[in-house]
Amino acid sequence: MSCSKKVLVILAEGAEEMEVVIPVDVMRRAKISVTLAGLKSDENVKCSRNIVLKPDTALASVANDIFDAVLIPGGVNGAKNLADDVTVGLVLKKHSDAGKIVAAICAGPTAVAKHGIGNGKKVTSHPSVKSVMEEAGYDYSEDRVVVDGSLITSRGPGTAFELAFAMIEALINKEAVEALKPGMLIKDS
């Protein structure tokens, strides 16, 4: 049985594989309906470590839909491709304006910043793009995951599980997160 929550993950060439696959996998385990949308099409996408992922659909086919959350993965080139895309900006703005969750990991927050989402909010990112986020006017934190209202950010591949759990907690509840951890052998620190 699935829950009624829907998440859009936008996949661009150069994305960091773990920052795509881990959140998609974990949210699907929580019975969240996750749509992996290819930026340019529904054809295979080569990621940053040359792993090829197959999107469920093309972004253009779901760009007018409203989801409960949108996730922007990192990877320097993937984030740049998302930052430079007008449709991504429109999707993020529509969701942000509707109070939906916008999440980004690693270099992904730079795409959120480029599209003017959540200006002034508390965020984190990969350390290599910290200055970009500060120059864009965000309140920067070095926490592994930062939740500021409907904006959720995380630092990199090693925080992908934590980002997924933060999204599940925001979309469903903390109990849904705790129910997943034993079967996945997640060790709480």
Q: Are 135 and 109 contacting, i.e. CB atoms less than 8 angstroms apart?
A: no
Position 49, amino acid: R
Task: Give a yes or no: residue 85 inside a domain.
Answer: yes
Parent domain of 157 = 6-182
Catalytically active residues are 106
Write the pLDDT tens digit of every residue in 152-170.
Answer: 999 999 999 999 999 999 9
Q: Which residues of 60-88 are buried (b: 16+ CB within 10 A; e: fewer)?
A: eebeeeebbbbbbbbbbbbbbbbbebeeb
Task: Give a yes or no: residue 1 inside a domain.
Answer: no
Write the pLDDT tens digit of every residue in 89-145.
Answer: 999 999 999 999 999 999 999 999 999 999 999 999 999 999 999 999 999 999 999
Indicate if the alpha-carbon torsion angle 112, 72, 172, 18 is positive or negative.
negative
Task: Give a yes or no: residue 187 inside a domain.
Answer: no
Task: Give a yes or no: residue 73 inside a domain.
Answer: yes
Write the pLDDT tens digit of every residue in 44-81.
Answer: 999 999 999 999 999 999 999 999 999 999 999 999 99
Query: pTM for the whole thing?
Result: 0.97
Task: Give a yes or no: residue 93 inside a domain.
Answer: yes
Task: Give a yes or no: residue 188 inside a domain.
Answer: no
Residue 55 sits in a domain whose CATH number is 3.40.50.880
Number of domains in the chain: 1
Position 177, amino acid: V
Task: Give a yes or no: residue 189 inside a domain.
Answer: no
